[in-house]
Amino acid sequence: MELNNIYLDDGIIDIIFNSLDYSDKFSFSKLNHFSRKYKDAIKYQVFHLINKDYHKYKRLFKIYRFNENELLHLGILAVSNINTLWGTTLTGYYDLRYIFELIFIGLKIDHPLMIDNCKGFNLYYLLKQITSCLSFNRFETIIKINNHPSLRVLNTSFIPLKIYDNKKWVTIN
């Protein structure tokens, strides 16, 4: 790539891209036609963010579109490595935020691989409850979820006692 009459090798550009902050990678990928090749690298970071960083994960779904196979693969990862959130010292909940995003954009929970990878019957039940709350837009869906007692962890007023990895709590709204 040539930048102000200075030639930069692709290896150097890769090093620069990999050393950037997460949000700067988006800007870098839009810099010029040479840096657009990094667009897919950013898109597929979603596979590394699942069940780890909801804020960045959610942002990727606002920017990129995923096909049915990618959604299925993400859904399997989400249910097989699901985290536990503690509402009280005795009450644990599945962190359903990641799965909610997938279901909201079109994940088919009735796929045999999804059913097989659910840890227990109650997780699949919760996925069906999320699906039943889907409405014509996100706002209406969140209202239905807030009124559903078994989806308390997705309620906008829910705040866990302790968040894994000491991340800031981000709700689905």
Q: pLDDT per residue over 28-44, tens digit each?
A: 776 766 666 777 778 88
Q: How many domains does the chain have?
A: 1
Res 83 pLDDT > 80: yes
Write the pLDDT tens digit of every residue in 120-169: 768 999 999 999 999 999 999 999 999 999 999 999 889 888 776 667 78
137 in a structural domain: yes
113 in a structural domain: yes
Residue/partner pairs of 32-35 with CB below 8 Å, 24 or more apart: 32/1, 34/1, 35/1
23 in a structural domain: no
91 in a structural domain: yes
The residue among 77 and 21 whose pLDDT is bigger is 77
Which domain, by its residues, includes 121? 66-166
